[in-house]
Amino acid sequence: MNNNKKLIGTSVLAAITASLCCITPVLALMAGTGGIASTFSWIEPFRPYLIGLTILVLAFAWYQQLRPRTEEELECACDEDEKTSFWHSKKFLGIVTMFSAIMLAFPYYSSIFYPESESNDTFAMSDNIKEITVDVKGMTCAGCEQHIEHAVAQLEGVQSVNASYDAGTAIISFLPSQVNDENIKAAINETGYQVIQKKPGNQTAMNGDKNISFYKVPLVCNAAPAIGCGSRAKPILKNFEKSNQVSEAWLNRGGTVIAVVWQEGAGNSSKESTSENIFAKHQVNAIELYKDEQTDVYRSFSKGENWLKGSEVDELSKEEASIIADQIISTVKEKTVLSTENEDKLHDKITDTFYEFFLNYETLAQLGDPEVYKSKLVDIRAYGEELLGEGKMPSVEELWSSCSNAAKSCDHESCSSSCKAPKN
């Protein structure tokens, strides 16, 4: 009897564990805690073994119940007339078997727990519908597909979502004017599954040169000429990504080239008009690269080395803000002795101030306006005076000089407009 208890407990545990990777997303949806959805996705590779263990254990338990008793076993029984308890009965074993079967089959019917996502017919006739395919890590069953489809379908502007755990992808159709790629990826990540950000060398669009255009652009950062200007590049890349002619848009880390991966079927005229309109809108003098000029750039792009897309260029803005902070700190040190703690605090304040500005500036004119930068330096100086003591900080003009002097050394034909000293 004790052995039967252990067998029954093992079978129930194995059956539940086998489907835990699919049960968790349903519980997450019901509880409104999407982040736990893929917690047990690592169990999926072991599912066949757990199913096998459940079947073997239940088969052995039924064998123990149904096999004829030997005379020796009957003689050893303490009380042959004692009635078998419910917990040791065939009825209870039958209930356990049925429960285990329901648990093992859960992935095949889990979709009934998800509300149906209907495609929006009002978008059907729109020429601006864009379709993207994203790679998703963590899906293990139909329930995972339903969870992702339900989450993304809630976004305004999404027409349809088709997730596949077999392919590990999600295909989304949407209106770029209402929602963008980053919103969609964020919605998927919030479910607990993870969007895999592939570098350009892994994209199917790399199958042919005709799908990619490279443009030489003047987006080098003034404060740090070794990197591109994220604040200038981000709206340009976002604008490309919203176009239904474009699959992806990338900036090289140096800020000298933008790569545009076109949708299949995009014609030369539409490519030309799209790129011209976007570069003109953002006041960028872009020159398309051809033949030999493309060779080195294409090689770098195909390897995925030091290329960023969309909001990834925020990394460059953070780095630029930190470099500006380094320059200003050097000027402060010429006037005041800084402790390590105070230097770190002041550096963080400067970095955060300019990083926030680079992310949220309203017009291109603001990005290149010395007066805007000086207004930021007024706040920084006030913070420094409070931190270090009155009279310990350089003047605003001195702080501005430490920033703008670095920009003077940058060729204005190749540099972006941020933190740029006005021409004499």
Q: Are 258 and 215 in contact (CB under 8 A)?
A: yes
Task: Find the length of the chain.
Answer: 424
Question: 349 or 37: which carries more pLDDT confidence?
Answer: 349
Residue 216 lies in a domain: yes
Cα–Cα distance measured from residue 388 to residue 414, given in angstroms and rounded to the nearest whole number: 38
> Does some domain include residue 235?
yes
Q: Are residues 6 and 97 in the same domain?
A: yes
Among residues 240, 275, 310, the one where a domain terminates is 310
DSSP code at position 116: P
Phi and psi at residue 248, in whole multiples of 5°? -150, 155
Q: What is the pLDDT of residue 154?
A: 86
Give the residue from 93, 192, 172, 102 showing the smallest Cα distance to 130. 172
Considering the domain boundaries, does residue 418 fall inside one? no
Residue 125's pLDDT is: 46
**Is residue 395 domain-resident?**
yes
Percent of the chain with pLDDT over 70: 71
Angle at 116 between CA 115 and CA 120, to 5 degrees: 130
Closest Cα to residue 212, out of 250, 273, 259, 244?
Answer: 259
Comparing 249-263, 370-384, 395-409, which segment has the lowest mean pLDDT?
Answer: 395-409
Same domain, 187 and 232: no
- Better-predicted residue by pLDDT, 294 or 172: 172
**What whole-number distance in Å separates Cα of residue 328 and Cα of residue 337?**
14
Q: Which residue, of 288, 310, 332, is where some domain finishes?
A: 310
Handedness of CA 208, 210, 215, 216 (dihedral sign): positive
Residues 26 and 106 occupy one common structural domain: yes
Using CA atoms, how far apart are residues 279 and 83, in angstroms rounded to an integer? 87
Regarding whether 269 and 251 lie in a shared domain, the answer is yes
Assess if residue 362 is contained within a domain. yes
If 0-12 CB within 10 Å is exposed, 13-18 middle and 19+ buried, where does residue 332 land?
buried
416 inside domain: no
> What pLDDT, in 10s, does the model give residues 363-389?
888 887 888 889 999 999 999 999 999
Compute how many other C-beta atoms are within 10 angstroms of the C-beta atom of residue 183. 15
Task: Pick the closest to residue 331 from 375, 390, 374, 381 (CA basis).
Answer: 381
Question: What is the total count of domains within the chain?
Answer: 4
Task: List pLDDT tens digits, range 128-152.
Answer: 677 788 888 877 777 777 778 888 8
pLDDT at 79 over 60: no
Share of the chain above pLDDT 90, in %: 22
Among the ranges 19-33, 80-94, 199-213, 306-320, which has the highest mean pLDDT value? 306-320
In this prediction, residue 202 carries a pLDDT of: 39
Neighbours of 215 (CB within 10 A): 21
Q: Are residues 306 and 326 in the same domain?
A: no
**pLDDT for the residue numbered 274:** 93
Domain holding 178: CATH number? Answer: 3.30.70.100
Model confidence at 16: pLDDT above 50: yes
Beta-carbon count within 10 A of 266 CB: 20
The answer to whether 242 touches 331, Cβ cutoff 8 Å, is: no
Question: Which of the pair, 56 or 45, is modelled with greater confidence?
Answer: 56
Do 297 and 396 fall within a single domain? no
Q: Is residue 47 within 8 Å of residue 21, measured between CB atoms?
A: yes
Q: In this structure, is residue 375 part of a structural domain?
A: yes
Quick count: other Cβ atoms within 10 Å of Cβ 331?
Answer: 18
Average pLDDT over every residue of 193-203? 62
Domain that holds residue 175: 121-197
pLDDT of residue 339: 93
Asked whether residue 424 is domain-assigned, the answer is no
